[in-house]
Amino acid sequence: MPLDDALTARMAEPGFWAAYLFEDDADEDDADGDDAESLRAEFGLGDELALVLDLDITGESFELALIAPGLAEPAELGWDDQAHFHPHVMRWAELDLLARALALHDPQMRHPGPVLALLARFVVLDEQDDLDTITPLMDAAFRMLRPGPRDGVRAETRDWFELRDLRGTGLSWTAGPDGHPAVEQIHADSAARPLYSLRTPDSADFPFTAWAALLDRAGQLLATATADPSLDDPAVRAALKRCTATRGYAHLTPLAEALRAAGVAQPVLLRALDEPVSRAESCWAVEVLAGLPQGSLVKRWFGRSPLSTARSWELSLTLAIEGRAAEHSRVLTSDLAGALKEAGLGGAEIAGGSSRQAADGTYVDVSTTVDVLVRDDLARGVSLISELLRRHDAAATAELRHTSPPYDRIALL
């Protein structure tokens, strides 16, 4: 079983996803070193091929490995923490393929669901990725597993997108020495969002051949699901044609009835038509049955992703704190983070600071640096930041800049 009882129960607790996703409001108990907590999920596709996810909730570290024939032990693919992470393991299309295959292989792994929610942190996005095909599946995965808004882009989806979006950073997929796809970043030293991956062309650590075998196995499982000759039944083809239209989700019941009448008995795909957790679950099932390219029907059923026009700005706010109360910058940053979040404009967190040595040899704190994220409306975000700085009597000495070259200074209002 890929999700054992301990992990399944833990995922249902309110604090789990906040801790797993490194959210600022994560339950402090999840980081309590006296109660070390480690969990594991194994996502197997048969033929001795499986992904293994080790979750160290206490240490806030998550590692992904691959089990495959010929490997003496699980091969490390990547890891994610808040220090020396290497999370860029796979492309979106690869994760979607694996999630579909896992759903067909193990009915417990409904898609979109736990596979996307747990493993999306190991995706890297580039120019070839289409947010119209991605956003509805990510939203559906989190709606299945975590209470929250039923409409609009989920906060988890937006956060994930901004962390894993490396479009415009010179990302390039090329064939490595063994012919398998590898990723590199042109001008990596100056990229605004660097690539951190073991899957580079010169890597001796990434298990390229075993990874290719895993993807081949996933493709075989999907091919098997669509090899049933009953799918060529005229009534089935007619029903599929109606379902693959723009509002084809209104015709799912006739499709399920036609499939049963023709003798098609793929239980996972039929369940996705009869009792879907989300429209996105029915959508990928129809795509598979109709032999459509991955994501093509998602665009048709769901339309334009709100993230396709989304923008965000990473800023650095420097606060002068010499002579201030010890808690000044902490309180100010907490208020700023709360105000930005409440306004739907982003967030803020302390990133570091500077100090100087006084004449008596002691060190005096001089400044605090705050990382600020502003979404969609920079002018409104700067206005809110300015207002809060004035409220804390910090506007005259604060400095706000972009974190990307040329690091332009932003005038506070």
pLDDT digit string, tens, across residues 226-262: 899 999 999 999 999 999 999 999 999 999 999 999 9
**Last residue of one domain, picked from the residues 245, 276, 302:** 302
**Last residue of one domain, picked from the residues 161, 194, 223:** 223
Percent residues over pLDDT 90 in the chain = 85
**Last residue of one domain, picked from the residues 160, 194, 223:** 223
Provide the pLDDT for residue 188: 80
Provide the domain count of the chain: 3
pLDDT digit string, tens, across residues 190-221: 787 899 999 999 999 999 999 999 999 999 99
pLDDT digit string, tens, across residues 284-325: 999 999 999 999 999 999 999 999 999 999 999 999 999 999
Provide the pLDDT for residue 27: 53
- Lowest mean per-residue pLDDT among 44-48, 85-89, 172-176, 398-402: 172-176
Band (pLDDT 50/70/90 cuts) for residue 176 is confident
Does residue 368 share a domain with residue 296? no
pLDDT digit string, tens, across residues 378-407: 999 999 999 999 999 999 999 999 998 888
Does 112 have pLDDT greater than 60? yes
Band (pLDDT 50/70/90 cuts) for residue 25 is low
**Domain range spanning residue 28?**
5-223
Does residue 267 share a domain with residue 178? no
Higher pLDDT, 132 or 187: 132
Provide the pLDDT for residue 4: 85
Does residue 138 share a domain with residue 61? yes
Does residue 181 share a domain with residue 96? yes
Percent residues over pLDDT 70 in the chain = 97
- Full 3-state SS string of the chain: CCECHHHHHHHCCHHHHHHHCCCCCCCHHHHCCCCCCEEEEEEEEECCEEEEEEEECCCCEEEEEEECCCCCCCEEEEEECCCCCECCCECHHHHHHHHHHHHHHCCCCCCCCHHHHHHHHHECECCCCCHHHHHHHHHHHHHHHCCCCCCCCCHHHHHHHHHHECCCCCEEEEECCCCCEEEEECCHHHCCCCCCCCCCCCCCCCCHHHHHHHHHHHHHHHHHHCCCHHHHCHHHHHHHHHHCCCCHHHHHHHHHHHHHHHCCCCHHHHHHHHCCCCHHHHHHHHHHHHCCCCCHHHHHHHCCCHHHHCCEEEEEEEEECCCCCCCHHHHHHHHHHHHHHHCCCEEEEEEEEEEEECCCCCEEEEEEEEEEEEECCHHHHHHHHHHHHHHCCCCCCCEEEECCCCCCEECCC
